[in-house]
C-alpha cells in the first residue's frame, strides 16, 4: 500500500462521487500531477453480497490510459505467494468520455496513470 501511495500529497486528497451504494473512491495527486485513486466497495454493508460478486463504478479520468491493481494479494496466505511481482493482479484501462470504469469486488483497488 505504501508503494502505491508513495509521494501522494494527502492535503490534495479528494473524494470522488460514485453512484453505486457503499462504494468509495479517493484521488490523491503525486508530484508532477500524476493521480493515484484508491477505490473499494464496502461489501460488509451490502445485505445480499455473496463472495465473487462485483459492481462497476465510473470515475473521472484525465489521462490517456491507466492501470488498475489489486490492493490485496491473490493468494490464500502469504505462503501461497510464490512470486510477489504477480501477487497483485493488474489490468489496463482506457477512459471513455473522460471516465474510467472500475470493477470492484470485496478488495480495494489502486488506479494509476500509465
Are 70 and 88 a contacting pair, CB within 8 Å? yes
Label residue 88 by pLDDT band (50, 70, 90): confident
- Dist CA 22 CA 8 (whole Å): 25
Averaged over 74-99, what is the pLDDT? 79
Domains in the chain: ranges and CATH: 10-75+85-113 (2.60.40.1180)
Give the length of the chain. 114
When pLDDT is cut at 50, 70 and 90, the band that residue 58 belongs to is very high
The pLDDT score that the predictor gives to residue 50 is 94
pTM of the model: 0.84
Amino acid at each position: 500500500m505504501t508503494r502505491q501511495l508513495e509521494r501522494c500529497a494527502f492535503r490534495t486528497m479528494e473524494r470522488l462521487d460514485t453512484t453505486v451504494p457503499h462504494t468509495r473512491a479517493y484521488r490523491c495527486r503525486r508530484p508532477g500531477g500524476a493521480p493515484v485513486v484508491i477505490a473499494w466497495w464496502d461489501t460488509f454493508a451490502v445485505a445480499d453480497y455473496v463472495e465473487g460478486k462485483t459492481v462497476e463504478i465510473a470515475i473521472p479520468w484525465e489521462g490517456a490510459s491507466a492501470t488498475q491493481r489489486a490492493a490485496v494479494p491473490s493468494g490464500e496466505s502469504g505462503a501461497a505467494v510464490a512470486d510477489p511481482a504477480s501477487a497483485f493482479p493488474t489490468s489496463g484501462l482506457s477512459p471513455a468520455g473522460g471516465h474510467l470504469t472500475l470493477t470492484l469486488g470485496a478488495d480495494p483497488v489502486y488506479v494509476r496513470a500509465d
